[in-house]
Every structure is written in C-alpha cells, then in structure tokens.
C-alpha cells in the first residue's frame, strides 16, 4: 500500500504570543483571519510584521494564528543568510538556545530573545492515518518527491495527533530544490 501524502510549502512566517501581538499592534488587538491553513483551527492572518536581522530585513512576514505560548519566526536557510541570522533546523516549538530577532509592527517593536528557526521538515498525521500505516509520533521517515528535480528526503519527522490533518510541510528551499509546490504529493518510502 503506497503511503501518499499531500505537500504544503511553508513560506517564511511568524507565530506570536498575545502579548507580542498587543505590543506590535496595540492593546487588546486580535489577529484577523485571511485564510484557513491545512491544520484545523490554524489560519494565515491579514496582519504582517517587519523582521530585522543584522544584514537585512523582510518587510511583510505573514503572521499565522491563533496566538501561541511562545513567539517563533520560521524562515528558510536562504532567508537566514539573507538577513544574517544563524537559525538552526528545529522542530516547531523547540526554540531553546535559538537566536532572537527584532520584530516591528504598526504600534511598536519586540526584541525577541529567542525563537528563530529553520523548520525541520515534517508530516502531520491524524492518529488514524498513523495507525493505518504503522507510523509512530517522532519517527524519522524517508519521503520521495518525483519529477524533474525528484529527490528523497531523509529525516522527515512524523507528528501524530488527533488534531492534525495529513500534510507534509517543507520550506521554500526544500520545495525549490525538489521543484515542488503546494498540492503536489509525496510518497513515504521508508
């Protein structure tokens, strides 16, 4: 039985705490939804921020909502070189010891102490998908993308939850190296 998963390409984006949202956009400010994402309850917000590294900045970084317990900027390695921040490859939420960054919004600025990562490629599995395919949470998978720039990624992290929808998340460097786009499919080969 082929294990086929849809691919979603993550452009640079930021998650913010409610406190940081209020510093950046004003007291009591709530994010507004631009469009829903593949994971239930998650959305791209209308709001964007400026992020400033030592060598450059990005002017319109999309905020993903809802608010989270810790602010986190997810960029590609290409982005990291471009703005001059040494972001390590990390699973979302594992930000101990990662570098910080300056975030600017219309109402103020936040000096993030840590939270800049290059997101480790991963697949979200609903518990039922994972059970059907015999895949465990945190298992490292090999996943093939086909086509002209076909390749097989090692170390794709399985993340299993009742609240997840089946979706493989790669960043823009990975998508561009594979010639892939959101809506393509990939095959778990090992």
Our CA angle for 127, 8, 141, nearest 5°, is 55
Residue 55 interacts with a copy of itself (CB under 8 A)?
Answer: no
104-123: contacts with a copy of itself (CB under 8 A): 121
Residue 179 interacts with a copy of itself (CB under 8 A)?
Answer: yes
Measured CA distances, 153 to 74, 113, 142, 180 (Å): 19, 31, 6, 13
Residue 17 interacts with a copy of itself (CB under 8 A)?
Answer: no
For residue 62, give both structure tokens: 């999309």
Residue 164 interacts with a copy of itself (CB under 8 A)?
Answer: no
Question: What's the Rg (C-alpha) of the chain?
Answer: 17
Residue 150 interacts with a copy of itself (CB under 8 A)?
Answer: yes
The number of residues that bind a copy of itself (CB under 8 A) is 21
Exactly one of 102, 139, 176, 182 binds a copy of itself (CB under 8 A); that residue is 176
Cβ 91 to a copy of itself, closest distance in Å?
Answer: 12
Residue 182 interacts with a copy of itself (CB under 8 A)?
Answer: no
Residue 153 interacts with a copy of itself (CB under 8 A)?
Answer: yes
Q: How many residues does the chain have?
A: 190
Of 139, 160, 151, 134, residue with least CA distance to 186: 151
Residue 96 interacts with a copy of itself (CB under 8 A)?
Answer: no
DSSP classification of residue 84: T
Chain position carrying tokens 């007291």 = 27
For residue 139, give both structure tokens: 């298992």
For residue 181, give both structure tokens: 């786009």
| Cβ-based nearer residue to a copy of itself, 4 or 89 | 89
Measured CA distances, 104 to 24, 118, 147, 169 (Å): 6, 20, 40, 27
Residue 92 interacts with a copy of itself (CB under 8 A)?
Answer: no
Residue 10 interacts with a copy of itself (CB under 8 A)?
Answer: no
Instruction: Mark residues 57-86: x for contact with a copy of itself by CB under 8 A, - for none.
Output: -------------------xxx--x-----
For residue 118, give both structure tokens: 């290059």
Exactly one of 67, 135, 151, 165 binds a copy of itself (CB under 8 A); that residue is 151
Footprint on this chain of a copy of itself (rule: CB under 8 A): 76-78, 81, 89, 121, 148-155, 172-174, 176-179
């Amino acid at each position: 039985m082929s294990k086929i998963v849809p691919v979603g390409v993550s452009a640079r984006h930021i998650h913010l705490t409610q406190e940081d949202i209020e510093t950046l956009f004003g007291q009591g400010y709530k994010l507004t939804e631009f469009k829903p994402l593949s994971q239930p309850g998650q959305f791209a917000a209308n709001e964007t921020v400026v992020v400033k590294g030592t060598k450059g900045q990005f002017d319109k970084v999309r905020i993903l909502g809802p608010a989270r317990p810790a602010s986190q900027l997810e960029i590609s390695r290409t982005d990291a070189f471009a703005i001059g921040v040494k972001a390590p490859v990390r699973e979302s939420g594992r930000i101990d010891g990662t570098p910080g960054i300056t975030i600017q919004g219309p109402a103020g600025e936040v000096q993030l102490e840590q939270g800049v990562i290059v997101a480790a490629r991963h697949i979200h599995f609903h518990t039922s998908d994972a059970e059907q395919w015999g895949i465990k949470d945190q298992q490292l998978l090999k996943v093939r993308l086909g086509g002209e720039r076909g390749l097989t990624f090692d170390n794709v992290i399985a993340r299993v939850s009742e609240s997840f929808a089946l979706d493989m998340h790669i960043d823009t460097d990975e998508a561009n190296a594979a010639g892939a786009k959101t809506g393509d499919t990939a095959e778990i080969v090992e």
